[in-house]
Amino acid sequence: MFSVEHTFDATVVTLVDEGERDTPPGEDVIVSLFEECVTLVQLDPRSGEPVTITLTAGQARDLAAALDLPEGVYRRR
């Protein structure tokens, strides 16, 4: 399950892990898409602190392209 929210300076997507059959759900992931970067935030269950990863716009485009490609090494043009 996920939600999409449009704010003043970002689009925020929250990915909610509902778990699998025998797997408990993981922590939610909050993806914020800004003009210049994308951030992913997830709570670290061990420390209780949020962990943030920041991708440049180019890295985000590479990640989106990679989701539909087979194994290999690629360069976007």
Say what the pLDDT of residue 21 is.
79
pLDDT averaged over every residue in the chain: 89
Q: Is the pLDDT of residue 72 over 80?
A: yes
pTM of the predicted structure, to 2 decimals = 0.80
What is the DSSP annotation of 16-37? -----SSS-----EEEEE-SSE
Distance CA 14, CA 33 (A): 11
Q: What is the pLDDT of residues 16-55, one digit of tens each?
A: 888 777 888 889 999 999 999 999 999 998 999 999 999 9
Return the higher-pLDDT residue of 2 and 40: 40
Q: Is the pLDDT of residue 76 over 80?
A: no
